[in-house]
Amino acid sequence: MGNTHIGSVDSLKLTVLIENSPGYDTYLEGCFGLSLWLELRSGDTCKRVLFDVGPRADSLFRNAEMLGVDLNTVDMILLSHCHFDHTAALAGLLDKLGRPMPVFGHPDIFRPNFVLKPEFMDYSMCGQNGRQSLEARGACLVLTKSPVEPFPGLMLTGEVEHTTAFEESGGVSCLTIDGEGNMVPDRLKDDMSVLVSVRDVGVIVLSGCGHAGIVNIVTQCTRLSGGQSVAGIIGGFHLLQAPIERTDQTIQSFRKHAPGLSFIAPMHCTGLRPSARMAEAYGEAFRELHAGDSVTFTANP
């Protein structure tokens, strides 16, 4: 994978529609999952993008309405990976929209995916969120392992290259079914992230669950941006089951690969202790983001 020339936007406004917790002093619903509403402006153009949709359509609709976000104006939906906490609201959302809608994701997104411990739990896109059902509801699927830039300055990373040895431990214990019908560990290769290049600001990295390893993700985003500096890292870092040493190694790697980092918001599946460690390390640059919170990154006037 070589460097890619990426465009840029004048501003990115991000609003958290779904997260595990509601923001302070709000009456929004918190529910296990993630959905980010992105408004990207370039000149007179504004694109509205949903990065993940969360697990429940009714919660998504309710929070969006309370926040004054008109979901009907969405231009495209990007899915980070198959897990239900990021995708299960999709069928209900497509029904509400009632029109064809581009939906980007990895080609393996409809495979079986489940855990057996502590009990069986299906994490996959199935039932009304299966492929045929979604297409019948208007999903125009764009399934790709390669990076794609659906709007200049907005890029989906494609499959993330694993370049960081210490990130191979402490992930989730998901299983899948291989081509011969055997139950095998699922390495969640479908985990893709988003990068937005904001003029004068740098790259903002948005991670869904971070299964690919947040350092791998940041490294890939830097590469895809042609070496621009990373200004923000936002989303799930998936460190809650990892040894705390991995968090310390993650912070060290951020210092190396994202020395200009001015905004870091670990969310959703990062875990309390890893988040606290990052809050300590990053001081003012650390931000809590929950349902209802928003942040804007803007180019110099």
Q: How far is the CB of 85 from Fe ion (least distance, A)?
A: 4
**Alpha helix (H) ranges present in the chain?**
57-67, 84-87, 90-97, 131-136, 214-224, 244-257, 272-282
Judged by beta carbon, residue 42 or residue 216, the one nearer Fe ion is 216
85 contacts Fe ion (rule: CB under 5 A): yes
Applying CB under 5 A, the site for Fe ion has a residue count of: 4
Q: How far is the CB of 113 from Fe ion (least distance, A)?
A: 9
Q: How far is the CB of 152 from Fe ion (least distance, A)?
A: 29
Helices 272-282 + 244-257 axis angle, to 10 = 40
Return d(Cα 153, Cα 108) in angstroms, integer.
25
End-to-end CA distance of the chain: 34
Task: State whether the Cα torsion 209-6-49-99 is positive or negative.
Answer: negative
Judged by beta carbon, residue 40 or residue 160, the one nearer Fe ion is 160
Given the rule CB under 5 A, which of 71-79, 244-252, 265-273, 284-292 is the region that contacts Fe ion?
A: 265-273
Judged by beta carbon, residue 9 or residue 209, the one nearer Fe ion is 209
209 contacts Fe ion (rule: CB under 5 A): yes
Burial 193-225 (b: 16+ CB within 10 A, else e): bbbbbbbebbbbbbbbbbbbbbbbbbbbbbbbb
Residue 18 DSSP class = E
Q: How far is the CB of 173 from Fe ion (least distance, A)?
A: 12
Judged by beta carbon, residue 237 or residue 263, the one nearer Fe ion is 237
For the chain, give the number of residues.
Answer: 301
Judged by beta carbon, residue 153 or residue 158, the one nearer Fe ion is 158
83 contacts Fe ion (rule: CB under 5 A): yes
> What residue ranges bind Fe ion (CB under 5 A)?
83, 85, 209, 269
